[in-house]
Amino acid sequence: MGRKKKLINDENKTLAKPKKGKFQTVRGMRDILPSEQPYWQKVRRVAEKVAQDYGYQRIDTPIVEFRNLFEKGTGPGTDIVEKEMFVFKTKGGDEVCLRPEGTPSVARAYIQHGMRSLPKPVKLFYIGPMYRYERPQEGRYREMFQFGFEVFGEKDPILDAQLIQIANRIFKGIGIKKFSFQLNSIGCEECRPSYRKLLISYLNNRKNALCMDCKKRLKKNPLRVLDCKEEKCQQVISQAPQMIDHLCSDCKKHFTFLLECLDELEIQFSINPHLVRGLDYYTKTVFEIWPEGEEDGQVALGGGGRYDKLVETLGGASTPAVGFACGMDRIVAEMKKREVKVNFSSQPKIFLVQLGDLAKKKSLKIFEQLESSGISVAESFGRGNLRSQLRQANQMKVDFVLIIGQREALDETIILKDMNSGSQEVITFSKTVFELKKRLKKVAEEKLNNSDKKGSKNIKSVSKSSPSPKNSKNLSKKGNRTAKKKNRSSKASSRPTKRKTSSRKRKK
Ligand code: AMP
């Protein structure tokens, strides 16, 4: 395709390649425009609130890190390190990169700042941009945003369960109700080597049926063959030996306990024995979060797992750890797709109109008084024309307009116009905040009453159509299904087996 390659903008529409001389965003990177901000704000707020509620403290690490942090941490055989890092040399000659993921940075910070001496477990939370030189397509960008949770210093699977609980809580809080977790255990240094041998021997016997990439993976990182998207490999993978059938007793116990916790929490999940997550540092638990109906797709909403050896690999003391990260770009896309409601109503309820130079000066002060009292107010200080300012106030659908003319400025008064009734009165500067608060409260109460009335109308009309026998049958069926599912889960949790597996083409 060469020159004809398409770019993706923030609305996921394609853009022609930029014309010469016109500045555009770099390929795979996007502007997040004001109209999109309410979605992003909701994701950030919910994640931050949940982090706080579960005792995870915020950490920010630099966007630029030494490249060998990821070469060592994420692993030399991974796509991220082999193909996707934005690497450059500083003027001082340091080999650095734009961070492609958060976990190695947070682990580095944990070691660098001696967090080992803090009470355990150390629970950390981050939000920020990550950079991967991938082929841009829908849901896959070169600059993307993640939030992540990491726990250091605890090997108990209850923490694995808590992280899944946290992810579950965040997705529900954001308003994405239909998603599910896929889980696997990829063992530890005790049980994985013998499984690895078994897998290599199985794959070697079917080498010719594998794609070119998998032939290479077979030498470097055979587990990653299990994660391959190619159809021809899928046939081989579907018959391959599975790690969960070869776990040592410790890993088996760990995984079983995790599944039991999830059953207890009534969190929906399925076991995907082919889930390996593509990064070198994982041990035991790995999981991903998928939007409902798209489990076979390309765009997981998040993923994570246990990484008990990473801190040691990076030069720290042996420290068990577990974490996950979610892609905010994909979450926002999913919110839009599912028509999740977000609050666009940070719209000001007041508009400040000023006429003449003295009024203009006075309105700066009035604006500050209102804003510092928590009253959201809009203005158009550059305009002096009454009509154009009122037109703007109308367009913004504010409840009240404050007008200061030359005379009002001299008298230290202000005209308060109610945009709903059209009535207006004169109040003094000093009473403005008080009067507005009183009126805004009244307007809010009236709106609430109106919506209550509407609500009760709806309830009446719903209760008119009492549940038909057909409906109640459906309800009980659903109940049975849940019960069955629960039973299945607890059976499986006593011995992890192939549950709800899917042979699918995807990348995490
Ligand atoms: P990872 O760090 O690869 O485990 O990814 C965690 C999550 O980040 C994924 O599940 C995605 O939601 C998101 N993600 C990863 N890579 C990208 C990308 N290139 N563009 C957008 N989101 C991504």
Residue from 485, 461, 481 nearest 473 by CA: 481
Residue 433 burial (CB count, 10 A): 16
What atom of ligand 1 comes closest to residue 301's alpha carbon?
12
Residues 27-49: b if buried by 16+ CB within 10 A, e if exposed: bbbbeeeeebebbbebbeebbbe
Place of tokens 């046939």: 235
| 7 DSSP β-pair partners | 15
- Tell me phi and psi for residue 468, to 5 degrees: -80, 160
Phi, psi of 179 (to 5 degrees): -155, 165
pLDDT digits (tens, 9 = 90+) for 429-454: 999 999 999 999 998 888 778 766 65
Ligand 1 centroid vs 228 CA: distance in angstroms?
Answer: 17
Looking from the CA of residue 101, the nearest atom of ligand 1 is 2
Alpha carbon of residue 244 to chain centroid: 29
- Give the single-character DSSP code of 34: G
Query: Do 325 and 168 meet the contact criterion of CB atoms below 8 Å apart?
Result: no
pLDDT in tens, 77-131: 788 998 999 999 999 999 999 999 999 999 999 999 999 999 999 999 999 999 9
Give me the tens of pLDDT residue by residue for the chain, a chain 508 residues long: 333 334 444 444 444 455 667 899 999 999 999 999 999 999 999 999 999 999 999 999 999 999 999 999 998 878 899 899 999 999 999 999 999 999 999 999 999 999 999 999 999 999 999 999 999 999 999 999 999 999 999 999 999 999 999 999 999 999 999 999 999 999 999 999 999 999 999 999 999 999 988 998 888 888 889 988 788 898 899 999 999 999 999 999 999 999 999 999 999 999 999 898 877 789 999 999 999 887 667 789 999 999 999 999 999 999 999 999 999 999 999 999 999 998 766 678 899 999 999 999 999 999 999 988 989 899 988 877 899 999 999 998 999 999 999 999 999 999 999 998 999 999 999 999 999 999 999 988 887 787 666 555 544 433 333 333 333 333 233 333 333 333 333 333 333 333 333 333 333 4
Omega within 30 of 0 (cis) for the link into 104: no
Are 129 and 141 in contact, with CB atoms under 8 Å apart?
no
Encode 5-28 in three state secondary structure. CCEECCCCCEECCCCCCCCCCCCC
Q: Which of 54, 301, 254 is nearest to 169 (CA)?
A: 54
- Given a contact cutoff of 8 angstroms between Cβ atoms, the answer to whether 191 and 247 are in contact is yes
Going by the DSSP 8-state scheme, the letter that residue 284 receives in this structure is E
Task: Report yes or no: 296 and 287 within 8 Å, Cβ to Cβ.
Answer: no
Q: How far is the CA of 327 from the centre of ligand 1 (A)?
A: 5
The DSSP 8-state label assigned to residue 221 in this structure reads -
Instruction: Tell me how far the alpha carbon of residue 437 lies from the centroid of ligand 1, in angstroms.
Output: 45
Query: How far away, in angstroms, is 4 Cα from ligand 1 center?
Result: 26
Residue pair 276/288 in contact by the 8 Å Cβ criterion: no
**246, HSE (Cβ side, Cα atoms, 13 Å):** 19
Under 8 Å between Cβ of 310 and 74? no
Neighbours of 405 (CB within 10 A): 18
374: nearest Cα among 441, 425, 442: 441
User: CB-based contacts of 53: which residues, under 8 Å, 6+ apart?
Assistant: none
Torsion of CA 167, 171, 174, 179, to 10 degrees: 170
Does ligand 1 have an atom closer than 6 angstroms to the CB of 102? no
Please give the distance of CA 374 from its chain centroid, rounded to a whole number: 29
pTM: 0.79
Nearest to 258 by CA among 156, 354, 330: 156
Task: Provide DSSP, 183-194.
Answer: EEE---TTTHHH
Q: Which residue has the tokens 């489990």?
A: 295
Cα separation, 406 vs 337, whole angstroms: 51
CA distance 334 to 12: 12
- Tens of pLDDT, residue by residue over 374-415, are 898 999 888 778 999 999 999 989 999 999 999 999 999 999
**CA 303–ligand 1 middle distance (angstroms):** 8
Instruction: Name the closest-CA residue to atom 11, ligand 1.
Output: 327
Minimum-distance ligand 1 atom for the alpha carbon of 142: 19
Q: Work out the burial of residue 93: count CB atoms within 10 Å of its CB; fewer than 13 is exposed, 13-18 middle, 19 or more buried.
A: exposed
Torsion sign (Cα): 81, 86, 88, 90: negative
- The token duo for 503 is 């042979």
Residue 20: the pLDDT is 67
Q: In this structure, which residue's CA is closest to atom 8 in ligand 1?
A: 327
Amino acid at 375: I
Does 327 contact ligand 1 (Cβ within 6 A)? yes
To which H or E segment does residue 162 belong?
helix 157-174
Nearest CA to ligand 1 atom 14: 327
| Angle formed by the axes of helices 157-174 and 249-265, nearest 10° | 30
Q: What is the whole-number distance in angstroms between the Cα of residue 12 and the centre of ligand 1? A: 16
